[in-house]
Chains A and B, each alone.
Chain A
């Protein structure tokens, strides 16, 4: 459903984005997003970018972050890092990825 894959063929215009000084070391991991996560609240072509959150015990992958507005898990084709922007289509929010107090990635709304 969400398997990492390395490929140079995937050009990503936002590859350089992210927290200044944190891009450094490792290249970002790429992920193949399965077509159907069971999430049916957005048009079919966008469904692979979202999945339902299973509650606090749901462990997010490095390419996933929880929307604080509507509690849907947002998925990206690449590993997420602080400073990245992602969109939550189900609730129409633009979000910025940050490192939370717990050390995990979180998202805050950028209206």
Chain B
């Protein structure tokens, strides 16, 4: 049961976890930033005419994001079936809804940009390293491997998306920036769920770190290549590039599975 807000920082951990994993918490949270924004964008946000080269780069980037969102949609919904407890199942159900919304708003933005075959062709326009990452993630989910699935999806993929969207927002046109801002707010929950769930798991079973290190080593080349290609596509200044991987590196360091 939700406690009075005045007691927020002094409450019991179990009560806090029960509340933040709940559907009710999710519903009241997203209401704050989605209400009045159909497809994640306020009706009065201006539309900029993009130069052809910039539009083409944006279409390719948004197509790559679609692949990430479909991967997370299939991943999160698949993980509900073998999540270790009710709280995780409910949280993953809310995450699946978030991912479905992200896919929908991205496809809508692509349609706004004049892409008629967005749904049919986003994979062919996407970053190939991310496609390989998706295949690996979904193999872990199909194997009902909780540890590997949470790590690949909620730590690696989510922190990668969080960093990419945050950087992209700084240079994006107003409609794209607002849409990404809304997605980013969801990613904060998804990323935090992953790190905290794994952190509690590793506190009980520290020997699992070795296995996570092996998974990390297998996935790192794909993660780095995805970052590299995205940075080039977004024409990020060299000074910002180290920032892009930092969230992921900090997260794995806190979990004790850094290199």
What is A's interface to B at a CB cutoff of 8 Å?
A: 12-14, 40-49, 68-70, 72, 76-77, 84-94, 109, 111
Contacts of B189 in A (CB 8 A): 90-92
Query: 6 tightest CB-CB pairs across the interface, nearest first?
Result: A91-B192, A111-B199, A43-B28, A40-B32, A45-B5, A92-B20
Contacts of A68 in B (CB 8 A): 250, 254
Query: Across the interface, do B195 and A109 meet the contact criterion of CB distance under 8 Å?
Result: yes
Query: Across the interface, do A90 and B188 meet the contact criterion of CB distance under 8 Å?
Result: yes
Assign chain B's interface to a size class: 20 to 34
Query: Across the interface, do B5 and A41 meet the contact criterion of CB distance under 8 Å?
Result: no
Extra 17 A-B pairs, beta carbons < 8 Å, given A69-B251, A90-B189: A12-B10, A13-B10, A14-B9, A41-B32, A42-B25, A43-B29, A45-B5, A70-B188, A85-B9, A90-B188, A92-B193, A93-B192, A93-B195, A93-B196, A94-B13, A109-B195, A109-B196
Who on chain A is nearest to B199 by CB?
A111
Contacts of A85 in B (CB 8 A): 9
For window 172-217 of B, CB contacts with A under 8 Å fall at 185, 188-189, 191-193, 195-196, 199-200, 202-203
Indicate whether B33 reaches chain A with its CB closer than 8 angstroms.
Answer: yes
Who on chain A is nearest to B162 by CB?
A70
Given known contacts A12-B10, A44-B32, A68-B254, A111 and B203 CB-to-CB distance under 8 angstroms: yes
Q: How far is the CB of B18 from chain A (nearest CB, A)?
A: 11
Q: How far is the CB of A36 from chain B (nearest CB, A)?
A: 11
Q: How far is the CB of A97 from chain B (nearest CB, A)?
A: 10
